[in-house]
Amino acid sequence: MSRHHYSQTFKRLLVVCKLAMLIIVIGSFLVSCTTDPPVPKPRTYPRLELPERNPQIVSPADCPFEFTFPDYASVKKGKTFFNEEPPHPCWFDLAIPELNANIFMSYHEISDRKDFERLVRDAYKINTQINKRSDYMEEIPVRNNAGIGGMAFVFEGAAASPMHFYLSDTTSHFLKGALYYGNQVRPDSLAPATVFIKEDINRLLGSFRWK
């Protein structure tokens, strides 16, 4: 076989190789254009075990009232308030260790309409601050069968607290309550616990009685 024949054969093989490489490159490009980019999987959270509900009458010491709340919560008396004595002995938490939550309760004696209006203003100031980080705040008037009234505030989104409330007779008694978690607020992962506790707070409001 002549040297010229070998040269022609080599050139043909070189052309075939170049065509094959070109086809592979074009094919890879087309595949990358038509294949959807990888989508990160949504973050998952461990399944939340909700405690059993066994309603009981709660009548904290030094407090002129009682209400119904399940026994998964226990009364923890407040010992300090900003490193000082609480303004009244009837300051306590409803501690819910299974859900790493607390309902902070603070009671105030009032002597006249000005006291009542001041405490209502303070409650709204706190709720305004919480609402800055929430997606939505709903104000719900409260009036139970005993004629006891007040207001509940429900927050949606990454608010520090999902629910606040107050109850008062407007002349002698004023009680504030606020639900908080002991861990970082993640609305999606805490949603089942929040719905669960809100239901029992609503029952608390409905069963509340002054003594």
Which residue spans within the chain are E strands per DSSP? 55-58, 65-70, 74-77, 91-96, 101-109, 136-143, 149-156, 163-168, 173-181, 209-210
Average pLDDT over residues 80-106: 86
Which CATH topology does 55-210 take? Protein Transport Mog1p; Chain A (3.40.1000)
Higher pLDDT, 17 or 59: 59
The three-class DSSP label of residue 75 is strand
CA–CA dist 59, 23 (Å, integer): 82
Distances (CA, A) of 92 to 9, 113, 149, 158: 95, 25, 21, 25
Average pLDDT over residues 7-25: 51
Backbone angles phi, psi at 45, to 5 degrees: -125, 150
Average pLDDT over residues 17-23: 53
Q: Residue 136: pLDDT band by 50, 70, 90 thresholds?
A: confident
| Single-letter code of the amino acid located at 69 | F
The three-class DSSP label of residue 151 is strand
Cβ within 8 Å of residue 134, ≥6 positions away = 155, 156, 157, 158, 159
Average pLDDT over residues 36-62: 74
Question: Mean pLDDT score of the chain, rounded to an integer?
Answer: 83
Number of neighbours of residue 112 by Cβ within 10 angstroms: 10
Domain ranges of the chain: 1-34, 55-210
